[in-house]
Every structure is written in C-alpha cells, then in structure tokens.
Amino acid sequence: MNCAVICVGSLKEKWQKEACAEYLKRLSRYGRYDVIEVPDEPEPAKPSEILNKQVMEKEGRQILSKIRPQDRVVALCIKGKAMDSEELSRETQAWEMDGKRTVFVIGGSLGLSDEVVARADVKLSFSKLTFPHTLMRVILLEQLYRAARIAAGERYHK
C-alpha cells in the first residue's frame, strides 16, 4: 500500500517514538508508509471558539499543503464511520487497487479544520472516545499493520 499519515505535532514521549518506529518497520514489508508531521500551533492562552477555530484553520492549511490532488484522504474524526479491524483491512485492500496514495490525517489537540474534513474522501472513527493526537498515531499505525497482516492472510490477535 502507498500510504501517508499526516499528523499535527511531533512525538515528545520516547515510548511513542519507539512504538511508531517499530510499526513503521513492520509495515515496510507491506508497502510504503510515510509519516508527515506539520507543526502544531500554540493553543490560545484564553481559548474561545473563534481563537480555537483560527488555530485549527492554520493547522488545516498546513495539512492541506501536504495533500496531492489525486490522493485519497481519510480523516480521523469522532463522527466518522467506525470499522472493525477486518473491515479496515478490506477497505485498505480496495483502496490499494486503484494505485492512489491513501493519506490518513490526524488533527491536533483541537481537532481538524472544516476544510480538511471537507477534503476527506472517508471519515474514519476509531471510537467515540477522545484520544491524545500523539497516541492516535501509535494506534493508527498498529491498526494499519494489523490490516496488512489480515490482508496477507497472516495470523493476528482478535
């Protein structure tokens, strides 16, 4: 699979860096998987709906600048479609067939801008729960690895 994960911010915790590096290493036998980081914007000292929206819009412009016109965009958002691991595997297999790069997008701590969500071809939810965006990167890479193993007919934990 030709895949990119665009995420806001960099990983600060050693365990998160190690986990992501490990899953990227494991994924390398199944295709090309890249992680593209865009800088996170500082949250306003006195947050308001307007100021938060400005932060998300600025981060959104940075995200959109990394997306190619022909890319399939999968935005991770709470209001997206929930799938189990086998469904995700079937979807990624289908996406792989058309040769497009599939780009998964993880927003910052405030979420994704309306413009990024509008650009998404697929909206994917991992849960109704809110996860830290840095932890979501680890979770996404693990699920992509699991999906690749399922697609290859390899054993995976249920």
Structure confidence by residue, pLDDT tens digits, 29-79 = 999 999 999 999 988 888 899 999 999 999 999 999 999 999 999 999 999
Give the per-residue pLDDT at 158: 60
Give the per-residue pLDDT at 130: 87
The strands making up 2-8's β-sheet, listed across from edge to edge, are 32-38, 2-8, 102-106, 72-82, 122-125
* Averaged pLDDT for residues 94-98: 93
Q: How many CB atoms lie within 10 A of CB 43?
A: 12
Structure confidence by residue, pLDDT tens digits, 103-123 = 999 999 999 999 999 999 999
Strand residue runs (E) in 9-116: 32-38, 72-82, 102-106
Structure confidence by residue, pLDDT tens digits, 2-13 = 999 999 999 999
Give the per-residue pLDDT at 125: 96
Give the per-residue pLDDT at 19: 98
Structure confidence by residue, pLDDT tens digits, 136-155 = 999 999 999 999 999 999 98
Query: Residue 122 corresponds to which tokens in the numbers above?
Result: 């697929």
CATH class of segment(s) 2-151: alpha beta
- Domain map (residue ranges) of the chain: 2-151
Containing 20, the helix (H) or strand (E) segment is helix 14-27
Q: Are 60 and 108 in contact (CB under 8 A)?
A: no
Residue type, 52: N
Residue type, 8: V
